[in-house]
Structure 1
Amino acid sequence: MKQISGRLCRIKLALTCIFLASAGSIMAQQKQTLPVIQQVKFKKDTTSIISFGAKGDGVTLNTQSINKVIAAVSQKGGGVVLIPSGLWLTGPIELKSNVNLHLKRDAILQFTDDFNQYKLVEGNWEGQPAWRNQSPISGLNLENIAITGTGIIDGNGGAWRMVKKDKLTETQWKKLTSFGGLVSEDGKMWYPSEKTVKGSKTKNAGVIVAGKTAADYEDIKDFLRPNLLVLTNCKKILLEGVTFQNSAAWNLHPLLCQDLTLRNLQVKNPWFAQNGDGVDVESCKNVLIEGSTFDVGDDGICIKSGRDEAGRKRGVPTENVIIRNNVVYHAHGGFVIGSEMSGGAKNIWVYDCSFIGTDIGLRFKTTRGRGGIVENIYINNINMIDIPGEAILFDMYYAAVDPVPLAGEKRDAINTITVPVTEATPQFKNFYIKNVVANGADKAIFFRGLPEMNIKDIYLENVTIQAKKGIEIIEASGIFLKNVNVITEDTSTIVNIQNSSNINISNLTYPNNSQVLFNISGEKTKALKVSGTDVSKAKKTSAFSEEVNKSVLEISK
């Protein structure tokens, strides 16, 4: 076991990021001092759960034994609670301060599929206060806590999840439905129980309403799936080495926490697991996520801060976050911010990460009603392969659907209207993205802001993306692209620009004999500057819609 006791360990590094700082090709060097994350320390005393009567036979329900030993160790000033070799079946576990829950390599901590073991509690779901089934592992108002080792924590999520038929093979679907449960009238969805069906049809299911108690939600209880681990308002946390897998909903959900370290974790869910996120860091401060691997059913590494009015009322951003040396396999997004970002997000560093087969690589999503400001995001050295959607995406029209449509799925086009700017208007600004390589994507780069609130001040430098389609910029201002190489299969149009301004493109590289280099539309489009780009490689440099004056495009050597 890695030694985590002793003196306070500080992580204090300096990362020098060189990014574009103004229009044109001017460069600026910004030295960003990374945040300091306070680390845990524990007494060396170790107590095995066996000493409190736990049995690793896969049959005995060890809930009371495990919780008793955690409480006892905490009351004595803390130490290590050991999960030794065995298959340990349990109900919900409640962590306590100054306790390190340590799993041996050949230990499996599996949570029961008996829903009666999980009481309804007041919690939080997708950024709003909500009734949920008690999480398999939880902690509230704690300090100096850890889960370490190299064992496995399994949430038994298959007992809880709805599953779409389109996400399974015919053989898998037949096997799933043979277990019982219910199939929807159109035959496209499997539900574990009638309560799950009813919950799926209930608007704002589980949202806390004044005057209602847990009993009022009993008829939809099975639908209110728990996140595997929820830590709320805790300080000094370490999750290290362990495998977290098979969650009913999100795997890891730190909420309103401070000084959080996630290191060398394996976080896994089936790819069809709805809401099966890897980690959702919500309204937390001073966070380090490093050396971990994610392979999940929804977003991989995600930053959140509350939803709509509830998030704005909380008013706590996620800030001072370091994300480095991680690998994300299947996920809806590799690194994600949103869509519940109503409290804001700022001062986040993401570097030296790889995304392999994620639906979208870098994914930044929000929608009207959220509010919140996302700013000062620094991203460097990202590698991607086999991205079914966009390699880099900014979208302010998030609609809570899978990022890549299923076969035969049809989606309505966006109805673009302008509405007044209010506190519910979200903002994305000041992103610095550098040194990105992607081999295989449907679209290289996509920006789509709101007409009343453009995506602003996004800097991309040294980016090479092989994709079917090129770059699309809609309702954006202050976009700076330098040394961007898009290698596209579809060469009909390389860059589409619509209702955008102050677009600066320097040293753009693209395939020879492309049909149109720049397709420009929208009456608000202006101040497009291109430099250092060989426009002669395209058969046609630019195409303009009727409402655009050709003078908006300025090309220089």
Structure 2
Amino acid sequence: MAMAQAQEITGYFNVRDFGAVGDGATRDTDAINAAIFAASESGGGTVYFPPGTYASFSIELKSQVDLHLSNGATLLAATPADESEGYAKPEPNIWGEKYQYQDFGHSHFRNSLLWGDNIHDITISGSGLIDGKGLWKGLYPPLGPAPSVNPGNKAIAIKGGRNITFRDFSIYRGGHFGILATAINNLTIDNLRIDTNRDGIDIDVCKNVRITNVVVNSPNDDAIVLKSSYVMGEAIATENVTISNSIVSGYAMGTMLDGTYQPMTGSAPDEDGPTGRIKLGTESNGGFKRITINNVIFDHSRGLALETVDGGIIEDVVATGLVMNQVSNSPIFIYNGARMRGPENTPVGAIRRVLISDVTVSHSDGRFPVIIQGLPESPVAQVTLKNMYLNMGGGLSQQDVLTQTSDLVSAFFALEEDAPRKSVFDVPVRREAYPEPSMFGLLPASGVYMRYAHDITLDNISMRLAEPDTRSVLVFDSVGDIELRDLSLPGNEKADQITVISSDNIELSTSTGKQQSLSAGEAEGFSGF
């Protein structure tokens, strides 16, 4: 009683005082939950984890109760030994289970190591570690079956709330998602290190989010991803989000935290190269508004992806100060599609008012140019790419594009085509497919491929190819009102350095004063740039 009174006075609740052993084997679930409950009942406080390894199943977070993982403390996601133990059962969610508007991972929260429902004013902090050893990576057959009948799915999952902060700790092998934050207003994520097997940080239908000073390594899935699913029973935008001063990568899991940064062996489960990128989408019912991304390094990963495929609108996005190295697919992928996983009769989405500037790209996979692709009825619009050094891989030919051989094309995304392509510019639209740069197979451009877009500006962009390439550098298909300013392109001796198809009002100007207006019906090549 005296100990409990002292804790209530100080607001400090040591999990060992509630029976936690911290030996890595004893199940400390009940003790940890008891400490959190005691802090909540006393009006709030901090639950403290001293050095030790605390094996646990589902832990319920409560409002105004902080968790602090001291240096040397590990919160370990335990592996259920049999049916008598395990994580909390996933709560019902009609939008995922019946209508399948989003996948299993986005539909359920309680089957996680740490979970909260409509909570406010909490912080998880400290220089300790969350180890998701016993967590399942999700409904994804290439990553294996569930390890038990009561599996855990995520390291941290919160649905609904406000004023949430995650600071200073590390996550290792975080399950389906290291952090899934859903419907939170005022979320701060600062100085985390996440080295995981699937998504690192997922931000879904949240507002006023700040992600700063994080390092996220995720070879098999996205590092930081913004989503706007239908999990709350309506289309809600993710808005007012900043991502800054961070590093994302796709090295072998565990080698970021141990400092060795080893390349992953083989490919990601989707048969493409390492993932580890920043992405908007795929779940995109509500869209994305007022997003900034600045001072971020992409290392041994895919590039920046802005995707809407479920009817949401992407608007007012600024990304600046990006450095990309060893890019395993398109450095920039801007895509409006029509998967339309949501209520019937939802109109297609849109992308507008996007600025991406001050970008360097090196050692980029030559199969993938920068891609800007919209829909005929909803072209990508009002996009500017400015001040970029793009060192693309090159190394392919027009014949490669015609033949689409299996050693160069992902069978996971690029569906088998019914007949050989009639020309290198005969690119399938695949409007209902899952969005990924490899969905189109090999493209006819080595630098930029643009289709169904208007009011686009490319300004002060210098491109180089690491290997000779016979494809056009830039390809414009079904676009209009395009401004090309001060471009430095390889292959100025080629007759088709730039190819224009079914497009008009492409205005080109150079620093030397050269000006030219490009337009064409059938594919026509232009050179000298």
| TM-score bracket for this pair, using the shorter chain length | 0.7 to 0.9
One-letter amino acid of the structure 2 residue matched with residue 520 of structure 1: V
Shift of 1:154: 1.2
The residue that corresponds to 2:346 in the other structure is 423
The residue that corresponds to 2:510 in the other structure is 532
Tell whether 2:12 aligns with 1:46: yes
- Distance in 2 (CA, whole Å) between partners of 1:444 and 1:478 is 20
The residue that corresponds to 2:269 in the other structure is none
Shift of 1:227: 2.1
The residue that corresponds to 2:5 in the other structure is none
- Distance in 2 (CA, whole Å) between partners of 1:156 and 1:66 is 18
Distance 1:354 1:399, change over 3 A: farther
- Distance in 2 (CA, whole Å) between partners of 1:43 and 1:449 is 60
State which of 450, 465, 472 in structure 1 corresponds to 2:390. Answer: 465
After superposition, where does 1:219-238 map in structure 2 within 5 Å? 226-238=153-165
The residue that corresponds to 1:72 in the other structure is 38
The residue that corresponds to 1:501 in the other structure is 480
Shift of 1:69: 0.4
State which of 233, 244, 249 in structure 2 corresponds to 1:329. Answer: 249
Tell whether 2:113 aligns with 1:147: no
The residue that corresponds to 1:199 in the other structure is none
Shift of 1:491: 5.4
- Distance in 1 (CA, whole Å) between partners of 2:125 and 2:375 is 44
One-letter amino acid of the structure 1 residue matched with residue 28 of structure 2: N
Aligned residues: 426
- Distance in 1 (CA, whole Å) between partners of 2:152 and 2:23 is 26
Asked whether the equivalents of residues 519 and 543 of structure 1 are also in contact (C-alpha less than 8 Å), the reply is no
After superposition, where does 1:136-285 map in structure 2 within 5 Å? 136-157=113-134, 190-192=144-146, 226-270=153-197, 276-285=198-207
The residue that corresponds to 2:438 in the other structure is none
After superposition, where does 1:264-413 map in structure 2 within 5 Å? 264-270=191-197, 276-296=198-218, 297-307=220-230, 314-330=234-250, 332=275, 334-359=277-302, 361-367=303-309, 370-397=310-337
One-letter amino acid of the structure 1 residue matched with residue 283 of structure 2: E
Distance 1:535 1:44, change over 3 A: farther
Gaps of 5+ in 2: 1-7, 251-273, 394-445
Shift of 1:399: 7.8
State which of 473, 481, 503 in structure 1 corresponds to 2:458. Answer: 481
Tell whether 2:518 aligns with 1:518: no
CA deviations 1:37-89 (Å, max 9, x no partner) are xxxxx996322100001001111101110001011112112111111101110
- Distance in 2 (CA, whole Å) between partners of 1:332 and 1:398 is 23
Distance 1:95 1:43, change over 3 A: farther
Pick 1 or 2: higher relative contact order, CA cutoff 8 A, min separation 6: 1
The residue that corresponds to 1:454 in the other structure is 379
- Distance in 2 (CA, whole Å) between partners of 1:163 and 1:143 is 32
- Distance in 2 (CA, whole Å) between partners of 1:90 and 1:517 is 60
Shift of 1:332: 2.4
- Distance in 1 (CA, whole Å) between partners of 2:144 and 2:208 is 40
- Distance in 1 (CA, whole Å) between partners of 2:330 and 2:153 is 30
Asked whether the equivalents of residues 157 and 247 of structure 1 are also in contact (C-alpha less than 8 Å), the reply is no
- Distance in 2 (CA, whole Å) between partners of 1:345 and 1:161 is 25
Asked whether the equivalents of residues 135 and 155 of structure 2 are also in contact (C-alpha less than 8 Å), the reply is no
Asked whether the equivalents of residues 95 and 138 of structure 1 are also in contact (C-alpha less than 8 Å), the reply is yes
SS at match of 1:481: strand
Shift of 1:487: 1.0
CA deviations 1:303-334 (Å, max 9, x no partner) are 11114xx67x5232111111100100116252
One-letter amino acid of the structure 1 residue matched with residue 335 of structure 2: D
- Distance in 2 (CA, whole Å) between partners of 1:138 and 1:513 is 57
Distance 1:317 1:248, change over 3 A: same
State which of 344, 356, 359 in structure 2 corresponds to 1:433. Answer: 356
After superposition, where does 1:22-33 map in structure 2 within 5 Å? none
After superposition, where does 1:88-103 map in structure 2 within 5 Å? 88-103=54-69
Distance 1:190 1:233, change over 3 A: closer
The residue that corresponds to 1:183 in the other structure is none
- Distance in 2 (CA, whole Å) between partners of 1:477 and 1:112 is 53
TM-score of the aligned structures, taking structure 1 as reference length: 0.70
Asked whether the equivalents of residues 518 and 543 of structure 1 are also in contact (C-alpha less than 8 Å), the reply is no
Distance 1:294 1:535, change over 3 A: farther
- Distance in 2 (CA, whole Å) between partners of 1:269 and 1:399 is 28
Shift of 1:395: 2.3
- Distance in 2 (CA, whole Å) between partners of 1:269 and 1:398 is 30
One-letter amino acid of the structure 1 residue matched with residue 507 of structure 2: K
Gaps of 5+ in 1: 1-41, 166-188, 196-220, 271-275, 401-420
Asked whether the equivalents of residues 46 and 82 of structure 1 are also in contact (C-alpha less than 8 Å), the reply is yes
Over 4 Å off, 4+ runs: 123-126, 157-165, 397-400, 533-536, 541-546
- Distance in 1 (CA, whole Å) between partners of 2:499 and 2:386 is 22
Shift of 1:121: 2.4
Asked whether the equivalents of residues 43 and 80 of structure 1 are also in contact (C-alpha less than 8 Å), the reply is no
The residue that corresponds to 1:119 in the other structure is 88
Task: Report the identity percentage.
Answer: 26
SS at match of 2:209: strand
One-letter amino acid of the structure 1 residue matched with residue 500 of structure 2: I
